Structure 1
């Protein structure tokens, strides 16, 4: 009863905070169904003559599934399992089709040699399930067939390969694929929520900066420059590093600082080029002097 009361209070609070948004979540709908089935236990007390309503007591065990709504990993696994159901139904249909085909083949090929397992089509399909599980198939099916012909092992290996190995890997692959897809969707949803929160904070900061800038402009128009400087001084302790504020000194402007550093970089490049030009001139002059000295010595 305590858990039922807590779940009811949670449902009422969620519905009060977001009447329309509550029903958009599938997990909220699932929680509502579990809560509704939990309340069905009181129908037994109100209608005592209907003894079959005592079965509703067993529905109280469904309250354990409420943990899915609290834990994020459980939600991801539950979502992947729901998406896997359709694929699993298709795989089961293909599996039964294979069982039917191999059952017909086994009935016509092995019915006379092993009537205990291949006497008719129904018994043959039932025997094919032993190949699907691959549990004791050598002792149950293969040993009686080996007494007749060992070539029947090829039929058994083909059945196990298609009905057991391939379909087992297909089941695992489908589950893993849907689990990975559900995890990616959950991560994308979390990223969208974080981005929405960041955008909301940005809009809040921009609106606050706009209000402060408007107050500065109004103060400048009404009271003059001195009051604006006082207002800037009062705002100094409340500004963030990414806030945009007016500056009276040009050296404090970020655009000016960027331009100044760019000019210094160009100046350094020019000095380097001038030095290289001086080195080339000195080397050329030294070469000319060496040639003249060489011609004088030859004379």
Structure 2
């Protein structure tokens, strides 16, 4: 069992930018004693072309993003940004292959669910889960796939990728009034009010997982964003650290009941307390290992 990380990569950002670069090395360090943490490799270009629009990719690699596109992304376009996104997607791809082979795959990055087939949005240059699913399909995996997206923001890009694909079920449990303003159609969307706490959140999650389980997936991707925590700069929800643990516990229990492989990707987390962000993310991976490895 191993995990992949982008902690070896730097990201050039303006001073004071809210992107939480600190959490990637922080989580890798927190897990170092539990399993090997390997540098995520660059995703094969052919894998990106299986999922994303060729015109978007060719322009991205040739010219980068325009100022308007960078504003929509929320990050200035730099070579370091592109490099990091390529490696984050590569980590999810290898984690997916690990999951099929060993039952559990872990990427300490990824979950960039706002990337659409033909554009970047919301800190998401490539949709790593969509790329991994298309890569597995091209290599012969034909099973049903469930995407459980519990980031505080709707997985709008992921929803669009799979809207016409009956072999993939997308579940998004998110803040109804949060970004993105315009929601896309997942197979199951559960919008929650601002400030929702542990009890109401877990009740909604139990109902959603019961519906998702009926899809009888043969592989599960879990976007385990911790921006659901109270005090997150962008999340607007109100879970405690214990609430996040119980959330993860429910997902892992479902996976164990189904007896299927699981891929865990990091998703968002921007708490005003950086150490809380790191601890919550690390706790998800620790629980995945103790529950499923």
Normalised-by-shorter TM-score class: under 0.3
Normalising by structure 2, what TM-score? 0.17
| Structure with the higher strand share, 1 or 2 | 2
Max Rg structure: 1
